[in-house]
Amino acid sequence: MNRYLVAAAAAVALMIVAAAFIFLFAPTDALQGPVQRIFYLHVSSAIAAFVSFAVVVVGSVAYLWRESIVGDRVARSGALVGVVFTTVTLVMGMMWAKPIWGTFWTWDARLTSTLVLWIIYAGYLLVRRLAAPGRQAARFAAVVGIFGFVDVPVVYFSVTWWRTVHPGPVIATDALPPEMLFTFLFTMACTLVLAAVMIAIRYRIEALTDALPVGMAVRTPPPASLREPTSPQVGRIS
């Protein structure tokens, strides 16, 4: 078993332990009931998304400054993982909002800015796909990645800058009972490990893709009907 498989298995195991804490250890919220348990994963994945986008900025700056191909690959990996965790945040948030607020979506400052963050980094992934591969894609994406990060502090501070219906910070204000706080911190640590493992695996995929000769770096294999028949099948009577 290679080390990536070990790391992936360990990250999944940690998430299962975190789920056990969320459902078995943490007390049920007096006001919201079991729905409140969404909070642990929702906030953790939002933090994982912020960290992933910070990784994009660090990688992008390294690329623009020193033309570091490693920096570029790190940025690419961070963007994809960040978009995944932003998606998880949005979906979990909507699942929580329906029973609590009575609606899946409201144009609240935090919800809106998080959606915009998702759109910006989805745009980053599109730029990578549409630019000429290599230097151009790396440069353009780096610029988008750095500009897009402007939205991260906006998302974070949106609950204090504007009057919103989204709950404010509960960790910094010490509003959680110890069992909930422990469950949250544990879930957050596990989610960050998962994000780190995902970025590492994605980095490996990007490095292998870069190593392919030019023209073979096809990200998605063509459908079977378009694929050239490989040698053993040539001439086979079906």
Partner 1 sequence: MRSIAIALTVARKDLLSEWRSRELVPALAQFVVLALVIANFGFQIDSRSAPAIAPGVLWLALVFAGLVAFGRAFAAEKEQASLEQVILTSAPAAAIFAGKALAAAALLVLCEAVLLPALSLFFGTPLSIALAAAVFLATIGMAALGCLFAAMVAQLRAREVMLPLLTLPLWIPFIVAGGQAVQVMMGGGGSYGQALWLLIDFDILFVVLTSLAARFVLDE
Of 7, 15, 94, 116, which lies in the binding site for partner 1, with binding defined by CB under 8 A? 116
Of 64, 84, 170, 196, which lies in the binding site for partner 1, with binding defined by CB under 8 A? 64
Q: Please report where in the chains the tokens 């332990």 appear, as a residue.
A: 17
Task: For residue 115, give the amino acid letter.
Answer: L
Distance of closest approach, residue 140 Cβ to partner 1, in angstroms = 5
Of 127, 181, 196, 205, which lies in the binding site for partner 1, with binding defined by CB under 8 A? 127
- Range in contact with partner 1 (rule: CB under 8 A) among 9-17, 144-152, 167-175, 212-220: 144-152
Q: Please report where in the chains the tokens 């986008």 appear, as a residue.
A: 53
Distance of closest approach, residue 97 Cβ to partner 1, in angstroms = 22
SS3 state of residue 33: strand
For residue 136, state whether it binds partner 1 (rule: CB under 8 A): yes
190 and 43 Cβ atoms separated by less than 8 Å: no
Q: What angle do CA 175, 176, 180 make, to 5 degrees?
A: 170
Which positions from 33 to 62 touch partner 1 by CB under 8 A, shown as an x/- string?
------------------------------
DSSP one-letter string for 118-182: HHHHHHHHHHHHHSPTTHHHHHHHHHHHHHHTTHHHHHHHHHHHS--SS---STTTT-S-HHHHH
- Longest Cα pair distance anywhere in the chain, in angstroms? 72
| DSSP single-letter state for residue 103 | S
The residues, any chain, with a CB within 8 Å of residue 135's CB and separated by 6 or more, are none
- Range in contact with partner 1 (rule: CB under 8 A) among 33-41, 149-157, 164-172, 209-217: 149-157
Q: How many Å apart are CA 109 and CA 116, to the nearest integer? A: 10
- Range in contact with partner 1 (rule: CB under 8 A) among 73-81, 147-155, 203-211, 225-233: 147-155
For residue 144, state whether it binds partner 1 (rule: CB under 8 A): yes
Of 132, 211, 226, 237, which lies in the binding site for partner 1, with binding defined by CB under 8 A? 132
* Residues forming the site for partner 1 (CB under 8 A): 64, 116, 119-120, 123, 126-127, 130-132, 136, 139-140, 142-144, 146-148, 150-151, 154
